[in-house]
């Protein structure tokens, strides 16, 4: 145990995800030895993120104003919505530079054992965005795990009867991997989603 | 380095750190086991989709200080794929997984519970019967193995031969008129027949049952399960009964 303030800092850092007691101690002593300006920048960044950042009223992504950067961008297509679980998934898809539509962040996935059902997600918000007929395709980009797949199944069942094109991100072999190390489920899905190569 | 091999059904997973997961399994020989699957969330993971809930796998584990570590996994039954493609199957299946975790202790082998869950998940994925029937049958049989077998013929209190028309959750099933406590349910005779069939695994009778009797039976099974498990099953309110 250290003296008051140092121990308090270690305890607070140790509550962060992925930071164990040893890491918390290392970060605390790094901050203790750091330049005061550097520490002030960190303090300002933490204060600002809590004060200014909120969730976009339309899509649920992180935003500094009522609407996020993606929802405000007039160059993006309103015809396609990509549905993701978390704001960090928006960043992951944006990195691909393949998608130029809008997003909708559900805020999680259906996980009954954890007590998360459809009513706990931003599904009503998605449905209201589809009412005016502007959106013609919804891409379901929930995680390719059991909870994500079940969420996609649930959403597809709601959306298909509305006459909207519903698609799911493809699953298969990771680029740069070896076929022999792929598990049966992934390899099976890669076969199912194989595409024709035309000469 | 101490390692052991076992067969198990994945009950649930929790994220751990950057790319790991804590996987909870019901195993054949070691009861409920919680183990770390390192790097499983990376696309390049050697475990891939094998450690997802509902998967029936053959594993090798290394004994750790607090949690064991998964070192190898081979697939026995890839049931998750079929189950998540049907929302009613998924919600029913999650109740089965949560119940199994509740009924079996860590490191306490229960071969009967393991066989029942593995068979139940396989049957659910195969779509052999309505998901709600598979769930209700599983719940009744799992509780019976755990020592809370309901009675659907003799009176659960005095043993008077039935059939009886009242059902008292707290007394353990059907009760005669003399033993009937206030507030006991009065299910239709067909519902009691269905419940008995679900407990015995008489699928011919269960599959032929009517929707209204299935609904009534599900309500009684849910009440019976919650009462004996003492804590509420979080997944039960989310079950979609079609």
Q: Final residue of a domain: which of B27, B49, B78?
A: B78
Shortest distance, CA B197 to any CA of chain A (angstroms): 27
CB B129 within 8 A of CB B210: no
Sign of CA dihedral B182, B183, B188, B194: negative
The DSSP 8-state label assigned to residue A22 in this structure reads H
Q: Final residue of a domain: which of B57, B78, B99?
A: B78
Give the per-residue pLDDT at A7: 92
Let me know whether A161 and A175 are in one domain.
no
Q: Is A74 on the interface with B (CB under 8 A)?
A: no
Taking an 8 Å cut-off on Cβ atoms, the answer to whether A183 and B97 are in contact is: no
Q: Final residue of a domain: which of B44, B78, B112?
A: B78
| Structural domain contains residue A146 | yes
The overall average pLDDT reported for chain A is 91
Shortest distance, CA A86 to any CA of chain B (angstroms): 14
Backbone phi, psi, residue A93, to 5°: -75, -35
Q: Is A178 on the interface with B (CB under 8 A)?
A: no
CA–CA dist B5, B8 (Å, integer): 10
Q: What pTM does this model have? A: 0.88
pLDDT in tens, A30-57: 999 999 999 999 999 999 888 888 999 9
Domain that residue A42 falls in: 4-52
| Structural domain contains residue A178 | yes
Shortest distance, CA B36 to any CA of chain A (angstroms): 15
When divided into structural domains, chain B yields a total of 2
pLDDT in tens, A74-89: 999 999 999 999 999 9
- CATH number for the domain harbouring residue B91: 1.20.1440.120
CA–CA dist B1, B24 (Å, integer): 22
CA–CA dist A55, A64 (Å, integer): 8
Residues 91-150 (A) with a CB less than 8 A from some CB of B = 110-115, 117, 144-146, 149-150
| Structural domain contains residue A147 | yes
Let me know whether B107 and B64 are in one domain.
no
Let me know whether A99 and A48 are in one domain.
no
Please count the other Cβ atoms lying within 10 Å of the Cβ belonging to residue B198. 28
| Structural domain contains residue A70 | no
Of A18, A113, A149, the CB nearest to B18: A18
Please count the other Cβ atoms lying within 10 Å of the Cβ belonging to residue B28. 18
At A34, list the tokens. 């750091």
Distance of CA A132 to the CA centre of its chain: 26
Let me know whether A44 and A121 are in one domain.
no
- CATH number for the domain harbouring residue A44: 1.10.8.420
Domain that residue B44 falls in: 3-78
Q: Let me know the angle formed at the C-alpha of B36 by A109 and B111, rounded to the nearest 5 degrees.
A: 90
Let me know whether A100 and A18 are in one domain.
no
CA–CA dist B125, B131 (Å, integer): 9
CB A101 within 8 A of CB A90: no
Say what angle helices B189-200 and B211-229 make with each other, to 10 degrees.
60
pLDDT tens track, chain B, 242 positions: 589 999 999 999 988 888 899 999 999 999 999 999 998 888 778 787 899 999 999 999 999 888 999 999 999 999 998 999 999 999 999 999 999 999 998 888 899 999 999 999 999 999 999 999 999 999 999 999 999 989 888 888 888 887 888 898 888 888 988 888 888 888 888 999 999 999 999 999 999 999 999 999 999 999 999 999 888 899 999 998 76
Q: Is B79 on the interface with A (CB under 8 A)?
A: no
pLDDT in tens, A134-170: 999 999 999 989 999 999 999 999 999 998 999 999 8
Let me know whether B120 and B231 are in one domain.
yes
Of A150, A153, A174, the CB nearest to B43: A174
CA-nearest of B6, B59, B16 to B40 is: B16
CA–CA dist B16, B19 (Å, integer): 7
Q: Is B80 on the interface with A (CB under 8 A)?
A: yes
CB A167 within 8 A of CB A140: yes
Q: How many CB pairs under 8 A join A and B?
A: 76
Of A113, A153, A185, the CB nearest to B234: A113
The DSSP 8-state label assigned to residue A174 in this structure reads P
Q: Is A22 on the interface with B (CB under 8 A)?
A: no
Let me know whether A37 and A86 are in one domain.
no
Residues 53-72 (B) with a CB less than 8 A from some CB of A = 53-54
| Structural domain contains residue A58 | no
When divided into structural domains, chain A yields a total of 3
- CATH number for the domain harbouring residue A160: 3.40.1360.10
Taking an 8 Å cut-off on Cβ atoms, the answer to whether A185 and B54 are in contact is: no
Place of tokens 């790097």: B39
At B225, list the tokens. 């399960």
């Amino acid at each position: 145990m250290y003296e008051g303030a140092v121990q308090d800092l270690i305890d607070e850092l140790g509550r962060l995800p992925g930071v164990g007691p040893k890491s918390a101690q290392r970060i605390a002593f790094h901050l203790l030895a750091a330049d005061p300006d550097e520490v002030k920048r960190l303090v300002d960044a933490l204060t600002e993120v809590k004060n200014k950042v909120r969730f976009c009223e339309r899509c649920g992504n992180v935003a500094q104003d009522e609407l996020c950067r993606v929802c405000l961008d007039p160059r993006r297509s309103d015809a396609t919505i990509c549905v993701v679980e978390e704001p960090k998934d928006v960043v992951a898809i944006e990195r691909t530079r393949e998608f130029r539509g809008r997003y909708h962040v559900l805020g999680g996935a259906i996980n009954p054992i954890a007590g998360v059902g459809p009513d706990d997600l931003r599904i009503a918000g998605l449905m209201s965005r589809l009412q005016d007929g502007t959106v013609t395709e919804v891409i379901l980009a929930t995680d390719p795990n059991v909870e994500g797949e079940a969420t996609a199944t649930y959403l597809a069942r709601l959306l298909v009867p509305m006459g909207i094109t519903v698609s799911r991100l493809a699953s298969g072999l990771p680029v740069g991997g070896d076929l022999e190390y792929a598990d049966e489920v992934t390899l099976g899905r890669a076969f199912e989603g194989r595409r024709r190569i035309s000469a | 380095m101490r390692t052991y091999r076992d067969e198990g059904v994945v009950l649930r997973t929790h994220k751990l750190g950057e790319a790991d997961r804590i996987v909870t399994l019901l195993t054949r020989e070691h009861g409920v086991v919680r183990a770390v699957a390192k790097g499983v969330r990376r696309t390049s993971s050697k475990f891939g989709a094998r450690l997802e809930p509902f998967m029936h796998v053959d594993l090798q584990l290394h004994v750790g200080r607090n949690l064991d570590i998964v070192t190898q996994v081979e697939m026995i039954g890839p049931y998750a794929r079929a189950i998540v493609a049907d929302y009613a199957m998924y919600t029913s299946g999650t109740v089965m997984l949560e119940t199994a975790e509740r009924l079996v202790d860590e490191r306490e082998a229960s071969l009967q519970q393991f066989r029942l869950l593995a068979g139940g998940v396989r049957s659910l994925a195969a779509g052999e019967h309505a998901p709600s029937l598979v769930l209700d049958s599983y719940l009744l049989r799992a509780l019976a193995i755990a020592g809370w077998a309901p009675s659907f013929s003799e009176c659960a209190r005095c043993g008077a031969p039935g059939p009886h028309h009242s059902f008292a959750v707290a007394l353990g099933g059907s009760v005669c008129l003399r033993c009937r406590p206030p507030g006991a349910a009065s299910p239709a005779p067909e519902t009691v027949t269905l419940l008995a069939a679900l407990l015995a695994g008489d699928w011919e009778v269960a599959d032929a049952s009517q929707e209204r009797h299935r609904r009534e039976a599900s309500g009684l099974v849910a009440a019976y399960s919650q009462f004996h498990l003492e804590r509420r099953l979080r997944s039960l309110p989310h079950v979609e009964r079609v």
